[in-house]
Structure 1
Amino acid sequence: MRQFGAFLALAVCVLFATDFLAQTAKSEDQKNIVIRPKMSGESGVPAAIDASKFIIIRPNGKAPSLVTTQPTAPTQPTQQVAGRPVAGTIAVPPPGVPKLDADTAFDYWFVAAVEGQRIGYVQWGAKRTMKNDRVLLVGVKYQNFTVARFGQIVSQWGEESSVENAAGDILVTGMRQGIGKDQALVLSGVVEGKTLKVTGDGAAKGASDTPWPEGVVGCVREPALFKEKRIKAGESFDYPAYIGVINRVVKMTVALEAEESLALWPKEPARKLLRYVSKMESVGNFKLPPATTWVDAETFEPLKMEFDFPGFGGKVTFLRTTKESATAAVMRPIELFNAQSIRLDREIPGIHTGRSVVYKVSAPKDDEPTTLFAGDARQTVKNPDPKTKSFELHVSAAHGPVRGAGAPAPGKEFTASNYFINWDNDGVKGHAAAALRGLPATASDWEKAAAIEQWVHRNMKAFEFSQAMATADNVAKTLSGDCTEYAMLGAAMCRATGVPSRTVLGLVYAPAKDGKPYLAYHMWFEAFADGQWLPLDATLGGGGVGPGHLKIADHSWHDEKTFAPLLPVLRVLSAKPAVTVGKVEP
């Protein structure tokens, strides 16, 4: 159902063991619940917590979690026809009847695949626990994917959890998402009336609370909705769901399309299934594609989920199977670069030192294609054609301040330290001081920002794609990563010297061996100097950017502990735009 909503977190991470305690709730039904992942070397209940007064929930620990994160068996071959994978078919056994202990409500294991090629697994389970004669249920959804970017293996994981009472009311939420080496984004929330009180650990403290309507459905109750609603073909039902990765409650609409007979596993007979289609409401201008779920017509248990996701190169399938088969190692990770890039029709020699390029863009899959890209002093949308959903994108170079330009002074959010762009630490401050060493005391903000771009370019290690969205302090320690890490560190170092900054999401021109280049998804940063926002890209170190940088959106990351600022990129990715090269001024 909303599994594809949680999936977007991992899609964002590949596109570009922290401890936490939930707040103590005020109502009797929510009181004394603690969510806390087990720390390394720790056994039993932490000494700081009185076990007689608290329920200890470890979403990714031994109990009551059902998660196993390590692969236990070799991969099985993908079913093929004429040497090519068959879309939607995965050579795994059916789940059978799992052996559940008395406290287990359900325990589902899904193998995850793209166009029939394995990428990892999803585990979805729930257990019961008692507290003061109350029945509480702890639900966990865990995803673990292994893919490749530019030939380098990338493993990404994410987890969401909820503590619910016997009636299905959510009391506590949890979300963990791997974002860098030995680093995870961790948020928890406690429901207090019409508000989810959200907390985080370390720099994530002070995360924004979010409105909480009645009837929000969590990990435990969600799979039971099929049986609970028992709708007929052509009917539908709605329910609110909390998506932790963007810290928002969204409306889900589920429609029963038909009953059909279908064989889901190789060499297995067809069985009667109910086919449902789930749609998530739009978040701003972004909406995920609909997902199809097949459930057993007798037990109403979900057996297969499927949706189209361009960021992973096609149709993503979650198919129920055994735990052993689901967690088998991914031996042939899919390469994402082709799926996460846009082919151009011709080369543009010297583009990063050129003056301007006019791109012709068409995006028939998007409702408002002219809003896919940002407009600013160096980039403008012109000549839109509503019939073909096409337009021209005029992009110019920017290498420093321009006379006569003037923009409103940025707010405090562009200088403050926050969860991702966290500059108030010795690592970032030390690097910033090193970058400015040698500049005169009268150096302008632009000279400072340009020096920081050069320092990051010279001192960051070569591209390394195992990190996802590491925070600036983490990057300051490792000095490694890809464009997201370059941008986060550059923006943080600017703020550490008093220069306002923000990150930029967009596309960058990338050459190819066959002569037809790509536009690849990319991140850089902007600094505010001389009354204008000026772009800088530490991955290239060019003292600005040329017309090969196409801007999608920018963000200060103020008060953000989720990946919501990245949704504009997923929107462009889902739109599958076609781009050709028009007029070029070298």
Structure 2
Amino acid sequence: MNRRLLQIFSGSSSARAVVRSFLSLPSFCGVLLLLAGFSGCERQPPELDLAAPGQGVVSGAADPQTDHQAASLVGWERWEVHSVDGQKIGYSHVDVQAGMDGGWVCRAEDQMVLQRGGSKMTHHVLQQTTLDRDGRLLELSSTLGNGAAETVTTASPQGGQLLLQIRRSGQTTQRQIHWEKGNQGPLAVPFSLRMKPLKPGERRHMQALLPVSYQLGRYELVAEGLEPVSLLDGSSAPLLKVRCRLTIDPGTEIKTDYWVNEAGEIVKSWTPALRLTSYQTDEATATAEISMDKDFLLAAAVPLTGQLADPLHVSEVHFDVRANGVSDQNSMFAIPAAAGQRVSSLSDGQALRVSVSAGWDGEATLPDVSSADIEPNSLIDFQDSRCEAFLQQAFQKYRAEPFVAKDTADGVQKMARLVQQHIVHKDYSRGFSTAAQVAADRTGDCTEHAVLLAAMLRSQGIPARVVAGLTYVQTVDGPAMLYHMWNIAYVDQGWIALDATLGASAPASRIALVTTDLSSGNEYECLQPILSVMGQIEIEILEASE
């Protein structure tokens, strides 16, 4: 366990479990993959000064290119190295070759390694995209290695839809998203800048598929002017500053600064919210061994003012959540209402009041229960034989104890305790395992607790979802809110929040950021609401009740 963490909450075993398990959803590493993904998708700057409307506007990468411009990408190879607070965490590599009919075949590799709680966690992505001569996506295939898990995604546009197939642990999930002819692939930003470099004062828009999460995002690039920029080797060079605003559905905006040379290549990028810096470099520098002398468990901590005397047993907490100095004050972050959570805007318009209650909630403003909350999927795979074996043993224990109806608040808390008892090995090296994998190897952190509890609940016909958000943790630097995952279950015509890392109902010392049924089979979709607040908020505890 990280020495920087205090064993709080009277040193109880359940307290140690939640401390061990925070930040275990693939949030931080997954967010870094999204931000650094495939040499040019980094984002997240300070305030964005846009050019005047209609002034210096140029079209995006979907514009037809001349043969000379299109040919300029064939044979293009690019290496990037990524670091956080000066600590190298990984690299990206892109190689472009000629395709059919003047198009291109683009191969991209992205690897990041983080130390989390003394464990080494590696994300490795191999992606191949086929583009037409105008940069439009024809097909995509991607393999994501995340600890012990491997996910294969394929995509192709057909009839105004992008059809995606996600294969994981022998199961395939299909979904589709609306797709317009001018939409771009995951390399849209670096390709657009490389093919048609921006000039000072120009602005460019494009809509593109995001890596890893495979959602659509809208980019706005604004070129400012030349400025001296420090480079990886310590030298300085005049480069064009380009500010980027990425919008992922209403309410989620992410920004970055790029510095671009005359050829349109991104030489440096900076993500202040994650303190992430990326440089163009050579293969030897990019792939050099990473010496992990920094633990990233606390790197994404949200600053917190105020303290809770007994966080595990607090029944009600009122938080004020406010934008910090890094965020764009003109773009309000979003925190949703959730089970046991009510949200309202404060009078100054720059903060939200988040009131959280423990226990059953019969008035939660959540989507109605649907078949997706009960059915198995590629992550909550309770019909897998490995999961069925666990369920058989677990319910034998359940029946051996005094009778409690399963579809009650007491019954689902009892199931949370059985999941807690089953997972005996804590391991930060994996990202997000399926319920069947967790059932078999009894290993994981809060994400594994959450998917296994969801599987157990759904196997009994009890609607269940997973929740990603923030939880209170006391560190040697003081209290902080850290990323965590838990569940909600629908019983007695209402929702109750459960934390299987505690083996009980979830206390009120939490803030939910996203609630999902995971039916898409892609856990990285959870990251979108987290991206809207990561590195951009600070929290104050106003009042708490035991």
What SS does the corresponding residue of 1:534 show, helix, strand or coil? strand
Aligned equivalent of 1:120 = 90
Contact 1:427 1:473 in 2 (8 A): yes
Q: Output one character per residue of 1:201-248: Cα deviation in whole Å (capped at 9) or x when no partner.
A: 256524212222123333677534335434431111222211142323
Distance 1:453 1:15 in 2: 28
1:142 equivalent to 2:105? Answer no
Output one character per residue of 1:382-430: Cα deviation in whole Å (capped at 9) or x when no partner: 5x423262343322221xx589999996211100111222222112222
Q: Please state whether the residue corresponding to 1:432 is helix, strand or coil.
A: helix
Q: Determine the structure 2 residue equivalent to 1:44.
A: none
Q: Which residue is 1:186 aligned to?
A: 152
- The 5 Å alignment of 1:74-223 reads 105-128=75-98, 134=101, 136-181=103-148, 183-201=149-167, 205-218=172-185, 223=190
Work out whether 1:247 is the aligned partner of 2:207.
no
Alignment of 1:432 with 2:391, yes or no, is yes
The gaps in structure 1 that reach 5 residues or longer are 1-8, 17-64, 66-101
Summarize the Cα distance change of 1:129–1:584 in structure 2 as closer, same or farther, 3 Å threshold. Answer: closer
Equivalent positions of 1:549-568 (< 5 A) are: 549-561=510-522, 563-568=524-529
| Offset from partner CA, 1:151-193 (integer Å, 9 cap, x none) | 3322222343311234433211123323341x22221112224
SS at match of 1:427: helix
**Of 490, 511, 514, the match for 2:453:** 490
Give the 3-state SS of the residue equivalent to 1:565 in structure 2.
helix
1:386 aligns with 2:342: no
Q: Does 1:293 align with 2:258?
A: yes
Residue 489 of structure 2, aligned match among 527, 543, 548? 527
Answer whether contact 1:370 1:391 (CA < 8 A) is retained: no
The separation in 2 between residues aligned to 1:237 and 1:419, in whole angstroms, is: 38
Instruction: State the 1:301 CA deviation.
Output: 2.9
Match of 1:5 in 2: none
Per the alignment, residue 67 of structure 2 pairs with none
Q: Is the 8 A contact 1:276 1:292 kept in 2?
A: yes
1:40 aligned residue = none
Secondary structure in structure 1 of the residue aligned to 2:254: coil
**What is the match of residue 420 of structure 1?**
379
Q: Give the one of 293, 302, 305 matched to 1:345.
A: 305
- Per the alignment, do residues 296 and 371 of structure 1 end up closer, same or farther by CA in structure 2, a change over 3 Å counting? closer
Q: How many Å apart are 1:585 and its aligned residue? A: 2.1
Deviations 1:543-578 (A, max 9, x none): 2122223222311122343522332222222432x2
Structure 1 residues 475 and 522: alpha-carbon distance in aligned structure 2, compared to 1, 3 A threshold:
same
One-letter code of the match for 1:330? I
Q: Which range is displaced more, 200-209 or 104-113?
A: 200-209
TM normalised by structure 2 equals 0.78
User: What SS does the aligned partner of 2:305 have?
Assistant: coil
Q: Which residue of 2 aligns with 1:36?
A: none
User: Does the CA contact (< 8 Å) of 2:381 and 2:434 recur in 1?
Assistant: yes
Structure 2 residue 282 is matched with structure 1 residue 319: no
Contact 2:450 2:487 in 1 (8 A): yes
Instruction: Please tell me whether the aligned partners of residues 361 and 391 of structure 1 are also in contact (alpha carbons under 8 angstroms).
Output: yes
Whether 1:538 aligns to 2:500 is yes
1:492, distance to aligned residue in structure 2 (A): 1.1
- Secondary structure at the aligned position of 1:146 is classed as strand
Tell me which of 459, 471, 478 is aligned to 2:434.
471
TM superposition shift of 1:125: 1.5
1:281 match: 247
Q: Which residue of 1 aligns with 2:20?
A: none
Q: Give distance in 2, aligned partners of 1:404 and 1:212.
A: 36
Give the 5 Å matches for 1:257-268: 257-266=224-233, 268=235
1:303 to 259, 263, 267: 267
Partners of 1:165 and 1:121 lie apart in 2 by 27
- Partner of 2:199: helix, strand, or coil? coil
State the AA in 2 paired with 1:283.
D
Consecutive aligned runs of 4 or more in structure 1 exceeding 6 Å deviation: 402-409
1:411 corresponds to which letter in structure 2?
S
How far residue 12 of structure 1 moved from its aligned partner, in angstroms, is 4.4
Separation of aligned partners in 1, 2:342 and 2:128: 43
Measured in 1, the distance between the counterparts of 2:141 and 2:455 equals 28
Q: Distance in 1 between matches of 2:217 and 2:139?
A: 17
Residues 153 and 333 of structure 1 are in contact (CA less than 8 Å); yes or no, is this contact kept in structure 2?
no
Alpha-carbon distance change, 255 to 185 in structure 1, aligned in 2, over 3 angstroms = same
Which one-letter code corresponds to 2:474 in the other structure? P
**What amino acid sits opposite 2:432 in the alignment?**
M
1:91-112 deviations in Å (ceiling 9; x for gaps): xxxxxxxxxxx99611111111
1:488 Cα shift? 0.8
Q: Is the 8 A contact 1:306 1:317 kept in 2?
A: yes
Task: Answer whether contact 2:186 2:211 (CA < 8 A) is retained.
Answer: no
Structure 2 letter corresponding to 1:114: V
Deviation at 1:250, TM superposition (A): 2.4
Secondary structure class of the residue paired with 2:200: coil
Deviations 1:132-164 (A, max 9, x none): xx4552212322112222333222223433112
SS in 2 for 1:511: strand
**Once the two structures are superposed, what CA deviation does each residue of 1:263-314 show, in whole Å capped at 9, x if it has no partner?**
524354x44433322221232322222x2222322x333322222233xxx2
Residue aligned with 1:156, SS? strand
Query: How far apart, in 1, do the equivalents of 2:515 and 2:496 lie?
Result: 12
What is the Cα deviation at residue 449 of structure 1? 2.3
* RCO comparison, higher one (Cα < 8 Å, 6+): 2
SS of the equivalent of 1:564 reads helix
Judge conservation of contact 2:186–2:209 (CA < 8 Å) in 1: no
Displacement of 1:526: 1.3
Q: CA deviation at 1:495?
A: 0.8
1:573 matched to 2:531? The reply is no
User: Does structure 2 conserve the Cα–Cα contact (< 8 Å) formed by 1:342 and 1:579?
Assistant: yes
> Would you say 1:518 and 2:486 are equivalent positions?
no
The TM-score with structure 1 as length reference comes to 0.73
Matched, 1:548 2:509: yes
CA distance, structure 1, for counterparts of residue 143 and residue 512 of structure 2: 29
RMSD (Å), alpha carbons: 3.2
Q: 1:257 to 1:334 in 2, by over 3 A?
A: farther
Query: Over residues 444-486 of structure 1, what are the superposed CA-to-partner deviations in whole Å (9 max), with x where a residue is unaligned?
Result: 3135422321111111024311111222222222221111111
Task: Tell me how far 1:14 sits from its aligned partner.
Answer: 5.4
Offset at 1:540? 0.9
- What SS does the corresponding residue of 1:546 show, helix, strand or coil? coil
* Distance in 2 (alpha carbons) for counterparts of 1:255 and 1:534: 46
Distance 1:433 1:451 in 2: 15
Residues 103 and 133 in structure 2, CA contact (< 8 A), matched pair in contact too: yes
What is the aligned partner in structure 1 of residue 443 from structure 2? 480
Query: Judging changes above 3 Å, is the alpha-carbon distance between structure 1 residues 258 and 423 closer, same or farther for their aligned structure 2 residues?
Result: same
SS at match of 2:75: strand
